[in-house]
């Protein structure tokens, strides 16, 4: 479904200047768009194949968590869970939000957790159709009714996932914004 950034209240998380937003497209449509935009190819088995660059797969050593009053005594800090100052997080967040100005975006609104009583809403915002296709398979998809009636927008968690190379790290930047209910 094609909507605008205003329709989805993206300005509430600081994303402005975005008009064309695709929300919860089918995998088939996302693959079609990915092929049209040369994001990947369809293999002989019918799968979408994309080249993600030299930084591919998990990056377990690249986990940075904001060190603040909420996290200082709840995280096991060390080699895996590295501290990042709030100011650094805010700079990266602003850089990523500015990066998408005027770009076409793909949004997946869905759920984490199968138990309806305990599940959480999630919104993943990407700038590539193939990324949204991956997310579509990773999280629980809402029914049409849930998509229209459940307050998914910014309820719990928003993940921004763009092909933005963060200059200091020279890695694909992912940004997770947790929002308390």
Structure tokens at 178: 């947790």
89 within a domain of the structure (yes/no): no
- In a domain, residue 134? The reply is yes
Domain extent, residue 141, equals 2-55+102-178
| Strands laid side by side in the 171-178 sheet | 2-3, 21-23, 105-112, 120-126, 157-166, 171-178
In a domain, residue 68? The reply is no
Residue 181 pLDDT greater than 60, yes or no: no
| Averaged pLDDT of the chain | 77
Task: State mean pLDDT over 114-133.
Answer: 86
CB 163 within 8 A of CB 126: no
80 part of a folded domain: no
Does any domain span residue 65? no
158 part of a folded domain: yes
37-41, 49-53, 71-75: range with highest mean pLDDT: 37-41
Number of domains in the chain: 1
Identify the band that residue 43 occupies on the pLDDT scale cut at 50, 70 and 90. Answer: very high
Q: Domain for residue 82, yes or no? A: no
CATH of the domain at 7: 3.40.449.10
* Residues 66-101: tens digit of each pLDDT: 888 888 888 888 888 888 888 888 888 788 788 888
pTM above threshold 0.95:
no
SS3 146: helix
The answer as to whether 130 is a domain residue is yes
């Amino acid at each position: 479904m094609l909507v605008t950034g205003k329709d989805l209240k993206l300005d509430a998380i600081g994303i402005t200047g975005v008009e064309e937003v695709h929300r919860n497209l089918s995998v088939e449509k996302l693959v079609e768009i990915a092929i049209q935009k040369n994001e990947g190819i369809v293999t002989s088995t019918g799968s979408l194949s994309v080249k993600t660059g030299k930084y591919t797969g998990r990056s377990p050593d690249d986990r940075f968590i904001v060190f603040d009053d909420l996290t200082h005594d709840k995280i096991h800090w060390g080699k895996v869970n590295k501290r990042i100052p709030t100011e650094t997080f805010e700079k990266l967040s602003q850089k990523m939000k500015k990066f998408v100005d005027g770009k076409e975006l793909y949004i997946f609104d869905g759920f984490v957790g199968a138990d309806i009583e305990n599940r959480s809403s999630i919104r993943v915002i990407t700038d590539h159709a193939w990324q949204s296709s991956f997310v579509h398979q990773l999280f629980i998809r809402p029914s049409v009714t849930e998509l229209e009636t459940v307050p998914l927008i910014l309820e719990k968690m928003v993940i921004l996932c763009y092909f933005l190379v963060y200059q200091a790290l020279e890695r694909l930047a992912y940004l997770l914004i947790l929002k308390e209910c």
